[in-house]
């Protein structure tokens, strides 16, 4: 039976959406992206090749799929053309049979990038011009892609054949009962309306944004799946109740390029100290083990224990039908693992995520602790074959998250995926 499935990030982004979207895209016929720009990065591993996409939907690595960049996106033409050329170098012929761009999508111009570099740093943006471009869109002074391709330039010439009216394309695909996958960018907690404002992005990377960013009605979406890591990360500023260590400590570690030469030794030391109870080192180990360094920026991500309050909020805001748990394998080696089940604020426990940033910044996590595991999970394909403590941890997550778990991911490859509820998928 055909479905339209929307995939969203359930935390602060970087949840492993690219891998899950790539996994689901095998059975999709159309893959669309609704919001954001090249501030979001998706990594897809195909055999011995690793692709990093910032604009083009991850489904492009499947040669028989149509990929749509929706009207809700903001597109840097230089970056977009660079991604097309990289794919062409790898043998992917890119025509309007594989990729189309909404003429209503807005264009990031050099002025947007310059403005962002001057003003975006205080809240931890990527300085890619995203916010200024969305600002011009809202005040109705922005440039749409249909206008941009009238220009005479290398980028305009390359993009022009791909620019279409995408509204009928995606709606006719749904009406024809094709499998349609909507690829989310970033995460629920970065939503301009529902996230930790002002430490958010400039669009709606929630399920509602999937509709407005592609021009489809909400009743046309059959399933909404959130990708949620087995722990928590965020980039940039803003409150982070389950954070291990501080944002300043994380920043001082430097980028992946700095870490990479001494990676193995650093990770071994971090694990030893983590198991001695050092909270900062626990977060550092997750960062190293999970390669938690920005696809777009290379910046180290802040890390923390799983936040059940955030997960519950994500279920509510998105109307989730199921959840995919990713990066369970990253926790391997830790002797003790914690789940935040509530916050404490002024001596009282609260279970709902507070909209007030002042309240959130004063919240302390309430934890439950569980035994960890040391066994390698990378070759596990059935839930029952997981180590007992790993199974117990996933079951506890299932109690905390008020939506069924449909997928558990134990590595970056498509094959490193455990299916728990096939009916939620294609």
pLDDT in tens, 5-64: 999 999 999 999 988 998 999 999 999 999 999 987 777 777 788 888 899 998 898 888
How many Å apart are CA 301 and CA 249, to the nearest integer? Answer: 11
For the residues of 258-283, what is the DSSP string, one character each?
HHGGGHHHHHHHHHHHHTTT-HHHHH
**Which residue carries 């989310």 as its tokens?**
184
Vertex 329: Cα angle to 324 and 334 (nearest 5)? 125
Break the chain into its structural domains and give their ranges.
Answer: 4-231, 243-304
Predicted local confidence at residue 63, as pLDDT: 81
How many Å apart are CA 62 and CA 58, to the nearest integer? Answer: 9
E strand or H helix at 13, and its extent?
none
165 contact partners, CB below 8 Å, separation of at least 6: 102, 103
Question: Is residue 55 within 8 Å of 69, Cβ to Cβ?
Answer: yes
Instruction: Please give the torsion angle defined by the CA atoms of residues 9, 318, 192 and 99, in that order, rounded to the nearest 10 degrees.
Output: 60
Closest CA to 270 of 338, 330, 339, 340: 330
User: What are the helix (H) ranges across 334-407?
Assistant: 357-361, 388-400
How many Å apart are CA 45 and CA 411, to the nearest integer? Answer: 10
42 counts as catalytic: yes
Predicted TM-score (pTM) of the model is 0.94
pLDDT in tens, 195-213: 999 999 999 999 999 999 9
Catalytic residue among 42, 54, 62, 194: 42
- Two tokens at 21? 């979207």
Predicted local confidence at residue 123, as pLDDT: 67
**Which residue carries 């180990």 as its tokens?**
285
Weakly modelled stretches of the chain, pLDDT under 70? 120-124, 295-296
How many Å apart are CA 19 and CA 15, to the nearest integer? Answer: 9
Closest CA to 304 of 275, 289, 284: 284
From its phi and psi, is residue 82 left (phi > 0), alpha (psi between -120 and 50) or beta? alpha
pLDDT in tens, 102-136: 999 999 999 999 998 887 666 667 789 999 999 99
371 counts as catalytic: no
Predicted local confidence at residue 120, as pLDDT: 64
Predicted local confidence at residue 41, as pLDDT: 76
Q: Which of 3.30.420.40, 3.30.365.10, 3.40.640.10, 3.40.440.10 would CATH assign to domain 4-231?
A: 3.40.440.10
Predicted local confidence at residue 122, as pLDDT: 64
Vertex 331: Cα angle to 325 and 332 (nearest 5)? 120
């Amino acid at each position: 039976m055909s479905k339209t499935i929307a995939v969203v990030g359930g935390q602060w982004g970087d949840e492993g959406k690219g891998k899950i979207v790539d996994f689901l895209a095998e059975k999709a016929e159309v893959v669309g992206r609704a919001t954001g720009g090249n501030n979001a990065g998706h990594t897809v591993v195909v055999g011995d090749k690793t692709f990093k996409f910032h604009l083009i939907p991850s489904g492009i690595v499947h040669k028989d799929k149509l990929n749509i960049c929706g009207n809700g996106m903001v597109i840097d033409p230089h970056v977009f053309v660079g991604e097309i050329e990289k794919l062409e170098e790898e043998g992917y012929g890119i025509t309007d049979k594989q990729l189309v761009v909404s003429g209503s999508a807005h264009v990031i111009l050099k002025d947007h990038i310059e403005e962002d570099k001057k003003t975006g740093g205080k809240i931890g943006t990527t300085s890619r011009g995203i916010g200024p471009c969305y600002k011009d869109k809202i005040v109705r002074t922005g440039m749409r892609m249909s206008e941009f391709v009238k220009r005479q330039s290398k980028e305009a010439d390359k993009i022009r054949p791909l620019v279409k009216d995408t509204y009928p394309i995606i709606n006719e695909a749904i009406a024809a009962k094709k499998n349609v996958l909507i690829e989310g960018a970033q995460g629920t907690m970065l939503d301009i309306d529902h996230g930790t404002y002002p430490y958010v992005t400039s669009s709606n990377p929630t399920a509602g944004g999937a509709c407005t960013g592609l021009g489809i009605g909400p009743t046309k979406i059959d399933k909404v799946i959130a990708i949620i890591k087995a722990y928590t990360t965020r980039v940039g500023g803003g409150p982070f109740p389950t954070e291990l260590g501080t944002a300043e400590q994380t920043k001082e570690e430097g980028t992946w390029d700095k870490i990479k030469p001494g990676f193995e030794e650093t990770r071994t030391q971090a694990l030893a100290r983590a198991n001695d109870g050092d909270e900062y080192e626990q977060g550092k180990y997750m960062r190293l083990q999970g390669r938690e360094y920005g696809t777009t920026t290379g910046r180290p991500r802040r890390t923390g224990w799983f936040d059940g309050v955030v997960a519950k909020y994500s279920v509510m805001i998105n109307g989730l039908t199921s959840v995919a748990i990713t990066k369970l394998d990253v926790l391997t080696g830790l002797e003790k693992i914690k789940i935040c089940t509530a916050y404490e604020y002024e001596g009282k426990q609260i279970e709902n995520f507070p909209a007030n940033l002042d309240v959130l910044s004063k919240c302390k996590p309430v934890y439950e602790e569980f035994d960890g595991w040391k066994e390698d999970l990378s070759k596990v394909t059935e839930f029952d074959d997981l180590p007992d403590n790993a199974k117990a941890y996933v079951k506890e997550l299932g109690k905390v998250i008020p939506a069924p778990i449909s997928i558990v991911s134990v590595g970056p490859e498509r094959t490193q995926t455990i299916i728990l509820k096939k009916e939620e998928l294609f």
